[in-house]
């Protein structure tokens, strides 16, 4: 449960950072956060499954936490980019 919370929070941060960097894809603070949360949850779970971290007793060692943060942040940024591109294509 703690791992999912870490992924969701870092996904929201990653989505907002990506929105700040890619102004043309930004969905606003709330939209960036929502896209980031969804992407962070999905990205973090995929990275955990691929690397096999977090499955131990509690899974809250420093390596596992850093992996959850990285997976969540990257997943959040990627989800924002995809949603932003779809939004821009539909606006044309």
Does the pTM surpass 0.85? The reply is: no
Question: Count of CB atoms within 10 A of residue 41's CB?
Answer: 20
Residue-wise pLDDT tens digits, 24-46? 999 999 999 999 999 998 988 88
Using DSSP's 3-state secondary structure scheme, residue 72 falls into helix
Rg of the chain, C-alpha, whole Å? 14
Spatial separation of the C-alpha atoms in residues 10 and 40, rounded to whole Å: 7
Residues 12, 58, 73: CA angle, nearest 5 degrees: 20
What is the extent of the structural domain holding 12?
A: 2-91
Residue range 55-71, pLDDT digits in tens: 544 567 888 888 888 88
Query: What tokens were used for 56?
Result: 């131990």
Per the CB < 8 A criterion, the answer to whether 16 and 29 are in contact is yes
**Rounded Cα gap, residues 22 and 62, in angstroms:** 30
In the chain, how many domains are there? 1
């Amino acid at each position: 449960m703690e791992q999912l919370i870490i992924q969701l929070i870092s996904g929201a941060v990653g989505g907002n950072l990506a929105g700040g960097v890619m102004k043309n894809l930004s969905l606003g603070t709330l939209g960036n956060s929502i896209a980031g949360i969804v992407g962070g949850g999905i990205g973090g779970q995929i990275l955990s499954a691929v690397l096999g971290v977090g499955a131990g007793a509690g899974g809250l060692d420093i390596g596992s936490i850093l992996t959850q943060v990285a997976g969540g942040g990257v997943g959040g940024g990627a989800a924002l980019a995809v949603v932003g591109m779809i939004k821009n294509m539909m606006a044309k």
